[in-house]
Structure 1
Amino acid sequence: MATISPLILRTSPLCLWTPHSNKPLSSLPFFTIPKSKALSILCSTKMEGSEITEDVAENSGANEIVKKKIFVAGATGSTGKRIVEQLLAKGFQVKAGVRDLDKAKNSLSHDNPALQIVKADVTEGSEKLSEAIGDDSEAVICATGFRPGWDLFAPWKVDNFGTVNLVEACRKLGVNRFILISSILVNGAAMGQILNPAYIFLNVFGLTLIAKLQAEQYIRKSGINYTIIRPGGLRNEPPAGNIFMEPEDTLYEGTISRDQVAEVAVEALLHPEASYKVVEIVSRADAPKRSYEDLFRSIKQR
């Protein structure tokens, strides 16, 4: 009986189509085929409507497609913890950067083999952060936030210099995907919202919003592929409406569940439409249910 030699793809891109999407996995960020072993496949092409797809059958023993490792700064925070949980739920490997390892062991699922907990304090400089992030992380999500107290420089140490340290660590390591959880009204003065009670209140603690805005501007000039997410007032309760997404410097009121903020951060990794964009989000009961692809695509780059 004649044998069929497996076809090894060398120069042409591999298109693997998801069962619930019209996008090839190879076009989505953070989906790769391991380079350590050759992937032998048999491909047959067929036409479905106006779309060409490929049926792929892997030889036994070939590696499966794997999702990359994501570093989360501020992983034990109220929002950061939810980001870690949602990343793990979607099958990502996660490196959780925390200041307090003991606290992390009590609040994170440290027995999950896909989760690695490492000590990382964004205020200690980019060199130590580079060691924490490591050369195995493919993206960084920054969900840090200062703790209110008597130190009026805390917002600048964490929300400004800390974020800058993370960006510099990414540049040293060649990590080219950065997602920041910021806040609406960071540019309130330019929006004519300088007398907005929320803008005044949030800046009472060491000019927090101004510190965040300075960090945003640094990210945008860094050359790194970024998504800056500006949520409204954060709620710990479950979602009570659909996500309403607008361009930067648009929203000046509204709230949103931390669960939804975490979801937007994770989805930004999966959708190229989120690249190099600043998005503002709140939750509204009357907002229509929209796909994340549609939401991110509706926001134009500036």
Structure 2
Amino acid sequence: MTTLIIGAHGQIGQQLIKVLAESGDTPRAMVRTDAQAQTVKALGAEPVIADLEDDFRQAFSGCDKVVFTAGSGAKTGPDKTILVDLWGAIKAVDVAREMGTRHFVMVSSRGAEDPEKGPAKIKHYTVCKKLADDHLLASGVPYTIFRPGRLTDDEATGNVSTAWAENPEEQWISRADVALAIAHSLKHPEVTGGQVYPLFHGASTLDEALNRR
């Protein structure tokens, strides 16, 4: 089975490519430019050039699983958040439904469970994430949703927590551990399918944290 990674050139996407390649998989990496294609190819992926803001249906051909880890980035405005994090995600879910995707892993965000409770300055972002999550939940596409906390560049530990951390200072996780959690979910859809996980740093192994219903 082939996994399509949307947002493959991002930091989590590149970490995920390396994890999957090390396990013997060759994921398909959706990127926007030839330069990005060369980067992901060197990491062990099969690149496909497509743009979330255009028609990207061809990227799904032959793929059984999809990971959506695309994001507009902190340096762009709310307009790009709407076009990428919301509308791009909605379109990806719709194509996945049409194509009969067997597992769709959405990388969402803490705060998407209730944007009213989060910081006002990023409310547009958490609203977009919530609406994208809700669209996936209602789509009928088999899913797993991760809502990671503040992302860091720390090394992978293989240990996480899916228990809500009340202290905002504890609501963080490394991008490397998010990638490991995604890879674990792709490998064990019979357990992680149909689940929405908060995802923070912690002391539980991936098996302990993600295989717990």
Q: TM (normalized to structure 2)?
A: 0.90
What whole-Å deviation, never above 9, does each CA across 1:229-258 have from its counterpart, x for those lacking one?
Answer: 011110112136831113xxx445311111
Report the Cα distance in structure 2 between the residues aligned to 1:280 and 1:179, rounded to whole angstroms: 13
**Contact 2:69 / 2:106 at 8 angstroms: preserved in 1?**
yes
Please point out which of 94, 109, 112 is paired with 1:186.
112
Q: Does 1:273 align with 2:187?
A: no
Please point out which of 120, 125, 140 is paired with 1:200.
120
What residue in structure 1 maps to residue 160 of structure 2?
Answer: 243
What residue in structure 1 maps to residue 211 of structure 2?
Answer: 297
**Contact 1:110 / 1:116 at 8 angstroms: preserved in 2?**
no
Displacement of 1:110: 3.5
What whole-Å deviation, never above 9, does each CA across 1:96-120 have from its counterpart, x for those lacking one?
Answer: 0011221331x324484xx310112
Report the Cα distance in structure 1 between the residues aligned to 2:46 and 2:151, rounded to whole angstroms: 27
Q: Does 1:86 align with 2:19?
A: yes
Q: Map 1:200-239 to 2 at 5 A.
A: 200-203=120-123, 207-239=124-156
Report the Cα distance in structure 1 between the residues aligned to 2:158 and 2:201, rounded to whole angstroms: 5
Q: What count of residue pairs does the alignment treat as equivalent?
A: 209
What residue in structure 2 maps to residue 129 of structure 1?
Answer: 56
Q: Map 1:1-302 to 2 at 5 A.
A: 68-105=1-38, 107-110=39-42, 112=44, 115-124=45-54, 128-134=55-61, 136-149=62-75, 151-189=77-115, 193-194=117-118, 199-203=119-123, 207-239=124-156, 242-246=159-163, 250-251=164-165, 253=168, 254-271=171-188, 272-284=190-202, 287=203, 289-292=204-207, 294-299=208-213
Supply the AA of the counterpart residue of 1:175: T
Structure ID, larger Rg: 1
Displacement of 1:188: 3.4
**Contact 2:93 / 2:136 at 8 angstroms: preserved in 1?**
yes
> Moved runs in structure 1, 4+ residues, more than 3 A?
109-112, 148-151
Displacement of 1:186: 1.4
Supply the AA of the counterpart residue of 1:88: A
Report the Cα distance in structure 1 between the residues aligned to 2:165 and 2:16, rounded to whole angstroms: 23
**Contact 2:159 / 2:206 at 8 angstroms: preserved in 1?**
no
What residue in structure 2 maps to residue 39 of structure 1?
Answer: none
Supply the AA of the counterpart residue of 1:237: D
Greater strand proportion: 1
What residue in structure 2 maps to residue 55 of structure 1?
Answer: none
Report the Cα distance in structure 1 between the residues aligned to 2:114 and 2:206, rounded to whole angstroms: 29
Displacement of 1:202: 2.6
Q: Which has the higher contact order (CA 8 A, sep 6+)?
A: 2
Report the Cα distance in structure 2 between the residues aligned to 1:152 and 1:189, rounded to whole angstroms: 15
Greater helix proportion: 2
Q: What SS does the aligned partner of 1:210 have?
A: helix
Supply the AA of the counterpart residue of 1:228: I
Displacement of 1:290: 3.0
What whole-Å deviation, never above 9, does each CA across 1:264-298 have from its counterpart, x for those lacking one?
Answer: 001001111101110011113xx2x4352x32232
Report the Cα distance in structure 2 between the residues aligned to 1:104 and 1:202, rounded to whole angstroms: 31
What whole-Å deviation, never above 9, does each CA across 1:149-199 have from its counterpart, x for those lacking one?
Answer: 464211110111100111111122111210011111113346xx34xxxx3
Q: What SS does the aligned partner of 2:198 have?
A: strand
Unaligned runs of 5+ in 2: none
What residue in structure 2 maps to residue 26 of structure 1?
Answer: none
Supply the AA of the counterpart residue of 1:210: V
> Identity over the aligned pairs, expressed in percent?
22
